[in-house]
Amino acid sequence: MKKAISAPLDPGFQPPALVNHQYLATATERLIIALEGERGRVTRYETKVRPSPDDETLRYVERTVKFMLWARGGWRLYLGGPSAVCKRIKVRKFDADLMSTAYGKKFQTIVTTPVKVPAEKEIQLSAGGHLKGCRIGFDLGASDYKVSAVIDGEAIFTEEMPWDPKTQSNPEYHYHHIASALHRAAAHLPRVDAIGGSSAGLIVNNEIRAASLLRAVPKKLFPQAAGIFKRIAKEWRVPILVMNDGDVTALAGTLSLGDKGMLGIAMGSSQAAGFINKKGRILGWLNELAFVPVDYNPDAAMDEWSGDRGVGAQYFSQQAVNKLLPAAGIAVPKEMGLPERLKEVQALMAKDDPRAAKIYETIGVYLGYSIPHYADFYDFDHMLILGRVTTGKGGDILIAKAREVLQTEFPEIAAKIQLHVPDEKSRRVGQAVAAASLPEIKR
């Protein structure tokens, strides 16, 4: 595998798009990977493999299964292909446990033949875009939360506040911050017709099934934390809809462009992603690209939560900036948190510090090589890129480098997929405004 453009601060970076395409040139046997999720939903991905379980084949299948698990989601995995290969594939315990938690069923793997893999059965959900009325939208991240008061699609008030939910064991901490933010926004409205929310984590029917934001909440208190949005719904007595922050990212892009077929990526405390298909629908996929492999280097950085290496959270978030600080030669105090470390890099970038520029160039290379990888699993024409990491001069460098990689290595992808960045204000609060459009007001 030879890259045309190297990551300045990470020369060992191994893009899956290049590794996988090189492997597939030697593959001959049919393999179907399918996942069964909620309400009988089945999503499939068809590819090819070599018939024997050599190391390259096992890596390709295991990493592809990992991508499917976190992009599509499901509690039952079907592997339809060469049994010598499929029987060797083991799903990581972290992944299996999270899928069981998200879908409420014990995770299973079934090895079969391609013809016996269940047919695809997708569900399609409304993608929001309801702008009429007086609405509140909120967006919950790991280091800050945002809230907007919106009248007929126009934000008349926005607020961004710091918080530290990951270390808080009492669910009342989370409830208090959200509830007080809603009241501050409501003070700017003549009435409240609906509330929409965007939050990191796995959210089903306004209930948090798993989320890094609630990482410190003990198991016995988790149901209380998971039901916060339903508690708020009872108190406000208006339509409330809360969705994964990635899907709201994609919705924000669709609303701003007036077009469909959108993959949204938010680079904040972690990586959030969402997908709206070319019919303007949300498919019920997980789209948790923070856990999806984007680097096959066996020595890649390890994600502290999942314990896996080379996954998106370490490449497209504040964690990515932090990871690259030593290679860039930028020293920060050990006690400094990730948001403050990002601010330090942004301050250096504002002064045109070349060390900071290398960090953004490296993340841009990561992105440029990951977009074709995403395109192997998602059918999209537009990518919206936003989040705190993309603000300022550094964000411009990041996007320019990604475009350079695409035009150099993947000209057909560069011609098909358009990269979009919102203006500076929308980058920071756009998701809260989009979230406000989620609930439908029925009169």
Mean pLDDT of the chain: 92
- Flag whether pLDDT at 85 surpasses 50: yes
Query: Do the Cβ atoms of 195 and 178 come closer than 8 Å?
Result: no
Q: What does the pLDDT read at residue 62?
A: 98
Q: What does the pLDDT read at residue 253?
A: 77
Cβ neighbors of 298 (< 8 A, separation 6 or more) are: 309
Biggest CA–CA distance in the chain, Å, is 67
Average pLDDT over residues 39-66: 96
The pair of structure tokens assigned to 147 is 């809230």
Of the candidates 158, 226, 240, 230, the residue with the CA atom closest to the CA atom of residue 196 = 240
Average pLDDT over residues 84-110: 94
Q: In this predicted structure, which of 215-219, 231-235, 248-252 has the lowest mean pLDDT?
A: 248-252
Identify the band that residue 429 occupies on the pLDDT scale cut at 50, 70 and 90: very low
Report the share of the chain in percent with pLDDT over 90.
Answer: 72
Amino acid making up residue 255: L
Average pLDDT over residues 131-155: 91
Instruction: Measure Cα distances from 401 to 7, 150, 378 in Å.
Output: 10, 35, 22
Query: Do the Cβ atoms of 261 and 277 come closer than 8 Å?
Result: yes
Give the pTM: 0.85
Identify the band that residue 427 occupies on the pLDDT scale cut at 50, 70 and 90: very low
Cβ neighbors of 440 (< 8 A, separation 6 or more) are: 126, 130, 194, 239
**CB burial string 234-264: b at 16+ within 10 A, e below:** eebebbbbbbbbbbbbbbbbbbbbebbbbbb
Q: What does the pLDDT read at residue 204?
A: 77
Cβ neighbors of 54 (< 8 A, separation 6 or more) are: none
- Flag whether pLDDT at 382 surpasses 70: yes
| Look-up of token digits 């020369």 | 11
Instruction: Measure Cα distances from 174 to 158, 225, 259 in Å.
Output: 19, 8, 35
The pair of structure tokens assigned to 88 is 């060797």
Identify the band that residue 127 occupies on the pLDDT scale cut at 50, 70 and 90: low
Q: In this predicted structure, which of 117-131, 144-158, 181-195 has the lowest mean pLDDT?
A: 117-131
- How far apart are alpha carbons 260 and 255 in whole angstroms? 9
Q: List pLDDT tens digits, range 392-408.
A: 999 999 999 999 999 99
Q: What does the pLDDT read at residue 282?
A: 82
- How far apart are alpha carbons 412 and 371 in whole angstroms? 12
Q: Which domains does the chain have, with CATH numbers?
A: 16-116 (no CATH), 134-247 (3.30.420.40), 254-432 (3.30.420.40)
Query: Do the Cβ atoms of 347 and 355 come closer than 8 Å?
Result: no
Best mean pLDDT range from 242-246, 258-262, 315-319: 315-319
